Amino acid sequence: MRKLLFVLMLVFTSLIYFSCDTAENPEDQNTDIPGDPTGVTVPTPTKNNVLPSASFTTTGSRVKLNLLGLIDPTTNQPLTLSYNSTNPQASNIFVEEDGIVQGLKVSKVGTGNVLTADIVFCVDNSGSMGDEADSVAASIIEFANYLQASGLDVKFAVVGYDSYPNGGINFTNAQTLNSYLNRTDYYGPVTGTSRTEDFSGPDSAALYNRANNFGYAGGENGVIAAIFADSVYGWRAGAQRVFINFTDEPTQSLSDGTWNNAMGCSLLSGKATVHTVFSEDSTYWTFNQYDERPWELSTCTGGTIKFIPDDATGLNLKDLPVAGALANSYLVEYVSAKTGVAHTVKITVYTATADGVQTFNITY
């Protein structure tokens, strides 16, 4: 009996020891990440034709940076990013935490490394969009089905707008999105610009109330739609935030600048990418400070721009560079020097044909 008690106590003590050792040494889990390099000079971008967009999550001191794929504007192809642990200066991606160059583990999205993305379709449903509204809805559904089948961990939402958000659905799957855009009401099938009017889903009443009190712009305004979704919708932690804005008119802001492109850029740059699909001749409008080019919101957030016919003939969202960007995203990991505090993180991408930098002020 004494021997049995002794053995049991020995096993129990061992369990306590090794459990404590594992809990107190989380760095043992980070041996796959290279140490911080020395003597590395981060190159200064000169072209500034790409803009890194990322979301952050942490596991202990391990920082996971979900980096949306970047499209090289000179080739229209996704950039291939890599970190050279043998010669870090030869890398084409650099991450600095509070001025210290980090050792990186860079993994392309694929099997065992699935990108999480939340995509919002902002759809101008003013009267001028009547010609293209059905084609836009069909393209959204096709695109959602395509992305969902591609293996991405992706959710979709819609904001319909005119001078304020007037319809939509919170994040859901492609099937529920299809049901919303192809729903039937008391009068029959809902078509045209009415497809994105009125809110749907379990939180529709709450969304309706928030939209009615969110604010008004001077006219058609995709900025207020994007900020509404960014502020109100149920984004997942660590998910890439992607907006695709469909419109045929300028962004019409208030005289004091509320809901203008500068406001959108200030709130969304570095946090999300906004991609613009513009269904009108870009030379048709006279743009000014109150009637702005809607695609400027794409320029400042690192998004892309697509011009299509005014009836959206041949629109295929799978041809948008954002599709390639999502499929060519990266998980970038490094070990933080200290967690639970505010950090300044700078991401620099530098290749022969494309470069750019983005700074994040973030607490993790």
pLDDT by residue (tens digit) across 144-179?
Answer: 999 988 878 999 999 999 999 999 999 999 999 999
Contact 248, 128 (CB under 8 A): yes
Longest dimension (CA), the chain: 94
Which region, left, alpha or beta, applies to residue 251 given φ > 0 means left and ψ of -120 to 50 means alpha? beta
pLDDT above 70 coverage of the chain, percent: 92
* Residue 133: pLDDT over 50: yes
Enter the pTM of the model: 0.81
In this chain, the answer to whether the domains covering 32-109+328-363 and 116-326 adopt an identical fold is no
Domain spanning 116-326: CATH 3.40.50.1000: no
Residue-wise pLDDT tens digits, 184-234 = 999 999 999 999 999 999 999 999 999 999 999 989 999 999 999 999 999
Please give the pLDDT value at position 328.
85
Cα separation, 52 vs 240, in Å, equals 12
Sign of CA dihedral 160, 55, 253, 214: positive
Long-range contacts of 209-215 (CB under 8 A, 24+ apart): 211/164, 211/165, 211/166, 212/164, 214/164, 214/165, 215/164, 215/258, 215/259
Q: Are 69 and 339 in contact (CB under 8 A)?
A: no
User: What pLDDT was estimated at residue 16?
Assistant: 42
Q: In which residue are the tokens 């499209």 written? A: 71
Asked which of 54-68, 89-103, 193-207 is least confident by mean pLDDT, the reply is 54-68
Give mean pLDDT, residues 347-351.
Answer: 98
pLDDT at 22 over 80: no
- What are the residue boundaries of the structural domains of the chain, listed by start? 1-31, 32-109+328-363, 116-326
* Cα–Cα distance measured from residue 30 to residue 75, given in angstroms and rounded to the nearest whole number: 36
308: left (phi over 0), alpha (psi -120 to 50) or beta: beta
Residue 342 pLDDT greater than 80, yes or no: yes
pLDDT band at 283 (very low <50, low <70, confident <90, very high): confident
Rounded to 10 deg, the angle between the 261-268 and 222-232 helix axes is: 30
Higher pLDDT, 277 or 320: 277
Give SS3 for 208: helix
Query: What does the pLDDT read at residue 323?
Result: 82
Beta-strand runs (E) in 202-310: 240-247, 251-252, 273-278, 291-292, 305-307
pLDDT value at 324 more than 50:
yes
pLDDT, position 126: 97
Q: From CA 326, how far away is CA 119, in angstroms rounded?
A: 11
pLDDT above 90: percentage of residues in the chain: 72
Query: Cα separation of 4 and 352, whole Å?
Result: 70
| Confidence (pLDDT) at 28 | 63
3-class DSSP state of 188: strand
Contact yes or no for 281/160 (Cβ under 8 A): no
Asked whether residue 237 carries a pLDDT value surpassing 70, the answer given is yes
Residue whose tokens read 């008119």 = 249
The confidence band for 68, taking pLDDT boundaries of 50, 70 and 90, is confident
Whether the pLDDT of residue 43 is over 60: the answer is yes
Alpha helices by DSSP H, 97-173: 133-149
pLDDT at 19: 43
Res. 34: pLDDT tops 60: yes
Assigned architecture for domain 32-109+328-363: Sandwich (2.60)
